[in-house]
Amino acid sequence: MKTAKNVIFLLLVLQFCSIFGQSLSERTIVVIDPGHGGMDSGALGINGMKEKDIVLQVAYEMVNLNEVFFNDKVDIYLTRYRDTLVSLSDRAKLAKGLKADLFISLHCNRSINPNASGVEVYAYQGKTPFSNTSVWLGYGLQKELNGKLGFKSRGVKFADFQVLRETAGVCPAVLVELGFLSNSDEFGYLEDQGNIRAMALAILMELYNYINAAFSKYL
């Protein structure tokens, strides 16, 4: 797996700036859901790394980078801003209350197989008005994280996760597993704050591309 150093982040910045001149056709509301929190640590990785901490760091970086590069033109809301436990129902209620255009739940994986690796994306298994667009978004995220950062793509899968089930009728919704905390390479990657920033920027770039492509259909 490639290691994202400062030069990779700078290349991402340059690519982002090259598309930043494009204008969003309207204001967009995106809900980012950092999984777990509080008493629920999520997956535990090497050296006690906690899933809840990693995904919150990625979400924070997305908010910060959105301000720097988007000038907050995309409205990003987090389901939690601190190390607190928010119920799955309340996470979905936020998306419903805000009438979100996109919902992305961030998680990390763990396996008894130390060689298991890569990023996988889940969409709701039932049929909804947003089924196809959720899958489209999922493949786009896979492509960005693979092409820009070198993560293995484990595909877009379907599941009946509560946060997906309860947001599936509101907007395109996906749950992203950002690598394996039980894999030494991916653990080492996620341990570096610069890499967290690069991951956040890659996700943000795909959101920007997705939003522009989706709205262009109605122009």
pLDDT at 16 over 60: no
- The pLDDT value given to residue 73: 81
Q: Tell me: the pLDDT tens digits for 89-141?
A: 999 999 999 999 999 999 999 999 999 999 999 999 999 999 999 999 999 99
Q: Tell me: the pLDDT tens digits for 153-195?
A: 999 999 999 999 999 999 999 999 999 999 999 999 999 999 9
| Helix (H), strand (E) at residue 162 | helix 162-165
- The pLDDT value given to residue 177: 97
CA 141 to chain centroid, in Å, comes to 8
CA distance 40 to 13: 34
pLDDT at 24 over 70: no
- Sheet of strand 119-124, all strands in order from the earlier edge strand to the far edge: 74-78, 28-34, 102-109, 173-180, 119-124, 153-159
* CA 17 vs CA 66, 103, 201: distances in Å: 12, 24, 11
CA distance 174 to 123: 5
Q: Taking the domains of the chain in order of start, what are their residue ranges?
A: 27-216
What is the pLDDT confidence band of residue 21, given thresholds at 50, 70 and 90?
A: very low
Better-scored residue on pLDDT, 7 or 75: 75
pTM score of the predicted model: 0.89
**Which of 3.10.129.10, 3.20.20.70, 3.40.630.40, 3.30.360.10 would CATH assign to domain 27-216?**
3.40.630.40
